[in-house]
Amino acid sequence: MPAFSDINPIVLFFASILTSNILLSNFLGTCSFIAISKEWKSSFGLGLAVTLVIGICCAICWTVLQYLVIPLGIEYLSFIIFIIVIAAVVQMLEMVIDRYSPSLYLSLGIFLPLITVNCAVLGAVLFMQIRNYGFLQAVAFGFGAGAGWWLAIMLLAAIRKRIENNPVPAGLKGTGITLIVIGFMAMAFIGFSGMIAVQ
């Protein structure tokens, strides 16, 4: 198994989409995943926003970590620093999107603030820290993890749309059947695991 720090960034990008999908193998971001996937359109918007946020946050947090946190020796504060960076990035992204693309802002608007507390963002940043990625790898990992989350939520939204008209036991309706579907999706994604090994 290669060390985490010398994987080709391009390989890492695809690996974090398919073989170690942040949602299906690390359970991160499940809450908003279940809540939002009822609707196909909002899933698309949220997935896009999450991908952007994770990618940008990984890049910024990597820089802050290497040039501020480690030289100053304040690693014990890293959780707070990361969460502030994430909140700031989300806020900035909100402002930028509002300024340049009001129509996208309208469709994403309500979800943007919630991304701050999406486990997938902080999770990706913490994985990036623990695995000692280089800058390019951190960025590739960030966008890959986001794209993986996006792919998973789009798939789930499409599946849920089909389930709507099927006879599901009353007690299993809603969250229950969704969790079972996610379980099957996770099993399907295990099928990719032989391709690239990152973990």
Partner 1 sequence: MSGKYSTIIRDGLWSNNPILFQVLGICSTLAVTNSLRNTFIMTMGVTFSTAFASWNLSLMKDFIPRKVRMIMQVLVISFYVIIVDIILRAYLPEASKQLGPYVGLIITNCILMGRAEAFAAANKPVASFIDGLANGLGYTAILVGIAVVRELLGFGTLLGLRVAPANFVPMTIMIMPPSAFFLVALVAWWAKSLGIRKAAWKQPRQAPSAAR
Binding mask 3-42 for partner 1 (x = CB under 8 A): ---------------------xxxxxxxx--x--------
CA dihedral over 57, 11, 75, 63, signed as positive or negative: negative
Query: What is the smallest separation between the CB atom of 97 and partner 1, expressed in angstroms?
Result: 19
Among 104, 117, 136, 196, binds partner 1 (CB under 8 A): 117
Burial class of 112 by CB neighbour count within 10 A (0 to 12, 13 to 18, 19+): buried
- 190 contributes a contact to partner 1 by CB under 8 A: yes
Between CA 82 and CA 80 the distance in angstroms is: 5
**Closest-CA residue to 191 (of 29, 25, 27, 51):** 25
CB of 10 or CB of 95, closer to partner 1: 95
Alpha-carbon gap, residue 134 to 141, rounded angstroms: 10
Residue carrying the six token digits 């709507």: 164
Q: ∠ CA 192-24-8 to the nearest 5 degrees?
A: 55
User: Does 130 help bind partner 1 (rule: CB under 8 A)?
Assistant: yes
The letter for the amino acid at 174 is: G
Footprint (CB under 8 A) of partner 1, residues 132-171: 169-171
Shortest Cβ distance from residue 188 to partner 1 (Å)?
9
Alpha carbons 91 and 76: distance in angstroms, whole number: 25
**Shortest distance, position 122 Cβ to partner 1, whole Å:** 5
- CB within 8 Å of 181: residues ≥ 6 apart: 156, 159, 160, 163
Question: Which of 20, 43 has the CB closer to partner 1?
Answer: 20
Q: Does 112 bind partner 1 (CB under 8 A)?
A: no
Nearest approach, Cβ of residue 66 and partner 1 (Å):
18
Q: Could you give the string, one character per residue 76-95, with x where binding to partner 1 holds by CB under 8 A and - elsewhere?
A: xx-xx-xxx--x--------
Q: Which residues bind partner 1 (CB under 8 A)?
A: 24-31, 34, 76-77, 79-80, 82-84, 87, 113, 116-119, 121-123, 126-127, 129-130, 169-173, 175-177, 179-180, 182-184, 186-187, 190
